[in-house]
Amino acid sequence: MISQKAGDAGAIFSSTAFDRHEEVIFCTDAGSGLRAIIAIHDTNLGPALGGCRMWPYETENDAIADVHRLSRAMSSKNALARLSTGGGKSVIIGDPDRDKSEALFHAFGRSVENFGGRYIVAEDVGTAVEDMTQIRSRTSHVMGFSAREGSSGDPSPVTAYGVFCGLKAAVEFRFGRAELSGLRVAVQGIGHVGYQLCKYLHEAGAKLLVSDIHGAAVARAEADFGACAVAGDDIYSQDVDVFAPCALGAELNSRTIPQLRAQVVAGAANNQLECAEDGAKLAARNILYAPDYVVNAGGVINLSYERESGYERDKAMAHTAEIVLDIFGRAEREGRPTSEIADDMAQELLGASGQAVDELT
């Protein structure tokens, strides 16, 4: 295991994805084949809480960039959700359909344990409740494991609920309507969160267009919600009111933004903007963007309630329902992209916390 801390020399620190991270750990285990990276971005608000993504990255540099961006976003997400947790994330390089094993997650759990509680892991893309349960056999610093063992279980439904609430707030701000009946929504990615979001939207009377790299996921949405299937990249150019990216990141970029016909973008995917300038490109086209780490905070809000004595889902859901995007009004008043406003608000909270910590030490 190799540890690189902020202040050391190395090519990683000149990366555009690196943003004053406190610590980055590279984890390997020959017996299980584990290759993982754990990144702690900021612990001013508390121990770093963030999921573990398992994905077959094309290159190791892709994995490094992803974990940096994801952990940085977790700091902002947890701050704006008013949680007493900092930002961190982890990635395991591998195919979640072929490379999972008990030994691999045990090895990963030992790596998490080495942080002594500074990093708390949960599920993310490519990992599930049963994987967290295996990790828990090697560390107590894990959340989202089996509900039978006292955890909150799968956080995806709460994440989806938060996205649904944020989407509703965006629709009300842009269109002046509180109801979603008849609203046309294009959902990209029908995984755990995307499917649950479709369920909420369907129950609210929205008309769904869906796409996913997995045909079975699309077929399920067609059967359960009467959704209309859209092939691949055609999802961007659909004549809809809302585009909801719920797959992987960087889907909003110089290639896709010009194709959008939606007036609102609100989805569950992390790091939806390929670069910071893409927020301004959306604003220039008068597309209202609900910043991803604001509206997809429901899962981590839910997990935060596991830290309290006696998890109560109703409290977590109530907190999630309070996702109110005053970001929209501030962006309109200041004539700036919503992405910039969200970043500034997060930095204000993190900076104030950091100043308080500095004064005490």
CA distance 228 to 34: 39
CA–CA separation, 91 vs 63, rounded Å?
7
Q: Retrieve residue 355's tokens.
A: 């100043």
Distance CA 28, CA 33 (A): 7
Length of the chain: 361
The pair of structure tokens assigned to 200 is 């909420």
Q: CA-to-CA distance for 135 and 168, rounded, in angstroms?
A: 36
* Residue whose C-alpha is closest to residue 252's, from 198, 209, 291, 213: 291
Nearest 5°: the CA angle 255, 57, 186 is: 40
> Which is catalytic among the residues 89, 100, 207, 281?
89
> In the structure encoding, which two tokens stand for residue 246, read together?
């719920």
Catalytic, 89? Answer yes
Residue 194 to residue 107: CA distance in whole angstroms: 30
How many angstroms separate the CA atoms of 179 and 356, rounded? 42
Residue recorded with tokens 């200041």: 334
Two tokens, residue 360: 């005490």
Distance, CA of 283 to CA of 289 (rounded, Å): 8
- The pair of structure tokens assigned to 30 is 């020959």
CA dist., res. 147 & res. 157, Å (int): 14
Decide: 228 and 218 in contact? Cβ < 8 Å: no
Active site residues: 89
